[in-house]
A and B are shown apart, each in its own frame.
Chain A
Amino acid sequence: MKRDSILSLISTLIVIIVGLLIGLIVLLASDSNQAFPAFWTMISFGLRNMRNVGDVLLGATPIILTGLSVTFAFKTGLFNIGAAGQFAFGGYTAIYIGVQFLFLPPPLRIICSILGAALAGAVWGAIPGLLKAYRNVHEVITSIMTNYIGMYLLSYTIQNTIFDINRTTTTRMPDDSNLPSLGLNYIFREPLGEGYRASAVNLGIFIAIFLAILVYIILDKTKFGYELKACGFNKDAAKYAGINQNRNIVFSMMICGAIAGIGGALIYMNGTGLSMTALPLLAMEGFTGISVAFLGLTNPIGVIFSGIFVSYLFLGGARMQPFGFSLELVNIVVAVIIYFCAFVLVVKTNIGKIFPKSREGE
């Protein structure tokens, strides 16, 4: 492993430990008797059996993708706060295809759902991109606006297309529109009575990891990725080098949108019967994605691990309720961790100064 990666890893681990300790202090301050058992539950639940491990991966799938979306934007000098809207558009499109396109054979229908979601996300991501490139409007403000517009638009669209009036959600998809479990249900399960209870973890996690690796390759190993990064790093220099920066801004935002959109597809196609609400609510996964991205130090591969970690904390955190603590503690812990993550880059550069690189050949 490269020296740089080791430094990142160590500093991230330190930051996580600090975050968890502060979480423990908050618990102790609220109820010292229940604090330790509750804390232990939070940090161990995800590993108690194989089914929980599967559930961690299941929960990680959408947030790895929204995290990846934010990461991609950040690497190309943009801040994608609009992942929530892109995610929702992707989710809606995937469900629509899953419910309505029954004339397609299941495998083809699933592929169409995912591609449709990517396209929908890309279109919704293109709006801030176009406005940034050609009208000089900051992408943060347009993303905030498109999030809210999308929220109301989707709420209206759901109620007029694939609406389940009893649950005020989208219609439930037929089972064969969901992602296949690929036999993962035989690995990630726990004994229950006579049989087993399996986690719903499925193909989605592989898609998420594959896309993370793909983004890493695009950004670090291709000319296209280099050009996108150059625009983010110094747009004047990029322009001078003959790179069409306006076009690249639009491309970047479309790719971000596509990734977040696929995240929306994968969460609603996970086979747990999860449906999209018709109430005007922003998708929280979009904002969790921002946390995941920065916790992963805006590195596509790091995002895989930070997504799994955040999902792990949320799964365990939900189990603290019997001890009288709310799931919100997890958000406090993650917030503290992210706050200290901001220091990681600073710490890294300073460690680099204290222990200078050994010269090559020595």
Chain B
Amino acid sequence: MDMFYFIVQQSMVFMIPLLIVALGGMFSERSGIVNIALEGKMVMGAFTGVLFLNIFQNPENVSDQGILLLALLVAMITGMLISLFHAFASINLKANQIISGIAINMFAPAFAIYIAIFYLDGQFVPFINQFRIASVPILGDIPILGPLLFQRTYITTYIGFLILAVSTIVLYKTKFGLRLRACGEYPQAADSVGISVAKIRYAGVLISGALAGMGGLIWIVPISSRFGGSVAGYGFLALAVLIFGAWKPMRILFASFFFGIMQTIASSFTAIPFLLNLGIPAAFYSMAPYVATLLLLAFTSKNTQAPKAAGQPYDKGMR
């Protein structure tokens, strides 16, 4: 049973950032803007968030959750700022959405490392990593559910689930969500009833920036005590989760959970006696999440549809 708890706790570490960033990507793509820049936005968010911790973290009280929340806010704002470039190019100038995404992906790590080397004399920005919660008061003592969800956890896990709940409601139960989806499917129709396609798409891209920036910081906090300008391809994996999740919140949850479990098996199979005894080389465990995703997609994607207007600049004349 301990092994089971361990796997679930570990999976959260991989799953939550993927979930949040993929949900971010969802808001952008459902509004009609392809977002290949998730990786770059994560890097920017992680960078400024960690830099904030590096400067303002109080060595006397390192496990202060408040400072982490503030750092998350910083990361969100950074993600939104960098998103503005993506939004401006793809909405106002109607430029190719992939190109500006590539530019952001290239800019972000270069910028983070450049600044770190110049001002901190090293590629890495260190921070004190003491944010793990051993056990949530009261809730952590519940049998089964306690160890599963409320022990050895991070506050970011709950933020992730909160974002999932809010995203689902916003997308399906609000006027804004309906308009967002309309702009991604058939912007001409949305425009014809007086909705500003540009405004809605700006909102979509900015939300995606905020969530991706935040996701970047959430990715780095549990796994390291320094940030070196890379999120190890998690932005691209989030994109994969988004597509695997068919651009729908609950399926994204499932996709990120699946990927989280697979990553846990890949990274800690040596701690799982059953898998260790199989004698399969480590490289194949590392490959497993990607192979499994590929196979699953091959069998489930036949009928999934991307948002129809994603990737196409909105042209009023096309009505």
Contact = CB atoms under 8 A, between A and B. Distances in A.
A328 B297 contact: no
A155 B283 contact: yes
B297 A346 contact: no
B297 A152 contact: no
B107 A145 contact: no
A145 B93 contact: no
B103 A326 contact: no
A31 B283 CA distance: 45
A246 B287 CA distance: 28
Given A291-B102, A326-B118, A342-B95, A145 B113 contact: no
Contact of B306 (A135, A138, A287, A342): A138
A343 B313 CA distance: 13
A328 B110 contact: yes
Contacts, number: 135
A137 B283 CA distance: 25
B312 interface: no
Interface residues of A, number: 47
Nearest to A347: B93
A248 to B, nearest CB: 20
Given A155-B283, A328-B113, A142 B100 contact: no
A294 interface: yes
Contact of B297 (A31, A141, A280): A141
A342 B107 contact: no
Contacts of B244: 141
A249 interface: no
Contacts of A140: 36, 239, 243
Contacts of A324: 118
Please classify how large the interface on chain B is, using the bins under 10, 10 to 19, 20 to 34, 35 or more: 35 or more
Given A141-B297, A148-B233, A156 B102 contact: no
Nearest to B94: A346
Interface string B165-177: 0000000000000
A235 B118 CA distance: 50
B137 interface: no
Contacts of A325: 114, 118
Interface stretch (A48-56, A98-106, A253-261, A333-341): A333-341
Given A140-B36, A338-B99, A342-B96, A152 B286 contact: yes
Contacts of A142: 294, 297
B89 interface: yes
B306 to A, nearest CB: 7
A146 interface: yes
A331 B112 CA distance: 11
Nearest to A155: B283
A251 B93 CA distance: 34
Contacts of A43: none
Contacts of A291: 102, 106
B236 A346 contact: no
A155 B285 CA distance: 13
Given A156-B283, A331-B110, A342-B96, 11 more contacts: A131-B294, A141-B240, A152-B283, A152-B284, A294-B102, A326-B117, A330-B110, A331-B106, A335-B106, A343-B95, A346-B93
Which 7 interchain pairs have the tightest Cβ spacing?
A331-B110, A156-B283, A335-B107, A339-B103, A342-B95, A342-B99, A335-B106
